[in-house]
Amino acid sequence: MRLAELAAALHVPAPTADPEVRSVTHQADWVQPGSAFVAIRGARFDGHQFLAQAAAAGAVAVIGEGLPSGVTSPLPYLVVPNARAALADAAAALAGHPSGQLRVVGVTGTDGKTTTSWLTRHLLRAAGLKTGLLSTAGYELPDGVLRHFPAHFTTPEAPQVQATLTELVGAGADAAVLEASSHALALERVRGVQWSAAIWTHLSSEHLDFHGTLDNYFADKRKLIERTPFAVLNVDDPWTAQLRGVAPAETTYSAEGQHADWRAGGLEERSTGLHFHVVSPLGEFDAQLPMIGRFNVANALAAMAAAAHLGATAEDLQAGLASFAGVPGRMELVPDSRGRRVIVDFAHTPPSLDKALSTLRATTPGRLLVVIGSAGGPRDPGKRAPLGEVATRLADHAIFTEEDCRDTPLDDILTEMERGAREAGRHNFERVPDRRDAIRRAVALAQPGDTVLLAGKGPEDTLERAHETLPWDETGEARAALAQE
C-alpha cells in the first residue's frame, strides 16, 4: 500500500513523499523495512524519542499526533487525531480488513470471558462453522491446535490481532471468537474489527489501577457493545441496564431465573457435570455440560445465544454442550488415584474466588483447601485483603503464596492477605511463599474426599518475580505434586 493510500484510509492529508508501506508498528524494536512507525505518547515514554531508531531500522513513514516542539522527523509524517486509533486503523487497512471475511463474535466482562469464548467457539464448530479463537490462553485456527503469540507479544496489539485474523482467513475459517479485555478496548487493540455479535458477561471491580474508576472501566468495556450490530446481554448483571438498546439488535440471558430470551431452570450438579433445562427463542430443550460450577450455566447461555445468532440449531447446541472438553486452567480437574480432587482455576478476584470456592464447597464431601496469591505492582492492591477474607471464609484451610509479585515485596502482599483474614476473625491459613512448595503442601495435607483449589494462575505460562520470569505450568505442578505423593 502506498503512503497516500494509507493516509486516505486514515482520513488525513498525505505528505508529498509516497513510499510503499508494508507494515505498521508502535514499537521501534519491531520496525522492519517498509514499516510505518506510530509514535505514541505514553505515560513513561514518547514514541517521538525513537524516530531515528525507527528510520535506521527501515521505517518509511511516521504517524503521530504532531511533532513535539524542537523535534523534526527524518521521515514523511502523517498527523492524526489519535495515534492508537491510527495504529489499529492502519493495521486493518494494511491487512485488507480480514474480519470482513469472517463472522466475528467478541466477548467481554470481568469474569467468564475465556470460558464463554471457548464455549462459543466450540458451539459454532458443532454447527459446522470453521471457527478460530483469540483468547488469553492463546489462539486457534480451525485445526483446533492452541498456539501462543511470541514472548514479546505479551498482549497482542492491533497489528497482531489483524495478522491473526488474516491467518484465520487463509486457513479457511468462517468465523472467529475474540476475547476482548478492557485493556484491549481502552487501548484500541481490537479497533478495526468488524463484529457480528458481542457477548457481555458481567462487571465487577478490576484493573482500577489502569482505568481509575469503575465507571471508566465500564465505559471502556461498553465500547464493544457500541460497535456491534448484535449484543448478547446478561440481565443478571446490574450494569446491563446501561447497555440495553445500545446495539441495533440484542438478546438477553439469565441463569438466575429472571425474565430473559435465554434462561435456564431445573439445574442439577451431577458427577457428569451440569444438567439443566433451557428456554430459548429456538424452543425448550434439556442440556448437559460436563463442567464444574453453577456459574458456567450463565457462560453456556451466553455462548448458545451468540451461536444461535450465527445459525446454530437447538440440536447443534445440545450436541455441542455435551461434547465440550473444557478450558485449560478454568475449573480444570487434575486426576488423582487417591480420591482427592485437585482443581486448577484462574480465579484471582474476590468475586471469582468466592464463586469458585462456593461451587466446590457444594460438591466436596471432605475438606476444602485453597492455594491463592495476589499480583504485585500497582495492580489492584485493594483486592489483597478481600482475597484473604474470602479464602479463609469459604475454605477449611488457605495457603497464601506468590502470584506474579513483580516489583512489590512478596512479604507485603502476603501480609495484606493475612490482614484480611485476621480482621475477619479467621486463622485457618498459613504462609508458603514459594508457589511450588505451596502446591505440594496443599496436596500433602489433602485426604481422600478433600478438594484442593489452585487459584489465580490458571493457564498462564509464566511466573513473575521481582528479578526473573520463570516458565510455569500450574496443571503440570499439580500433577508433579500428586506424583510425589
Residue 136 labelled as part of a binding site: no
Q: How far is CA 63 from CA 30, 299, 363, in A?
A: 15, 40, 56
Q: C-alpha grid cell for residue 399?
A: 495457603
Between CA 430 and CA 469 the distance in angstroms is 25
**Cβ-based neighbour number of residue 286 at 10 Å:** 10
Q: Cite the beta strand spans of 88-237 per DSSP E.
A: 103-108, 131-135, 138-140, 146-147, 175-179, 197-200, 230-234
Q: How far is CA 386 from CA 287, 345, 413, 423, in A?
A: 35, 18, 12, 10
Rg, C-alpha atoms of the chain: 24
107 backbone φψ class: left, alpha, beta (φ>0; ψ -120 to 50)? beta
Question: Sign of the CA dihedral 474, 479, 483, 485?
Answer: positive
Decide: 225 and 198 in contact? Cβ < 8 Å.
yes
Q: How many CA atoms lie within 13 A of 350 on its CB side?
A: 20
Q: What contacts 475, CB < 8 A, 6 or more positions away? A: 328, 329, 332, 334, 344
Residue 461 labelled as part of a binding site: no
Residue 112 labelled as part of a binding site: yes
Residue 109 labelled as part of a binding site: yes
Q: C-alpha grid cell for residue 370?
A: 485453597
The residue with cell 487459584 is 455
Residue 363 labelled as part of a binding site: no
Nearest Cα residue to 1 out of 40, 34, 38: 34
Q: What contacts 347, CB < 8 A, 6 or more positions away? A: 111, 353, 355, 356, 453, 455, 456, 458
Nearest Cα residue to 32 out of 43, 24, 40: 24
Q: Which residues are annotated as a binding site?
A: 109-115, 154-155, 181, 189
Residue numbering of the annotated binding site for ATP: 109-115
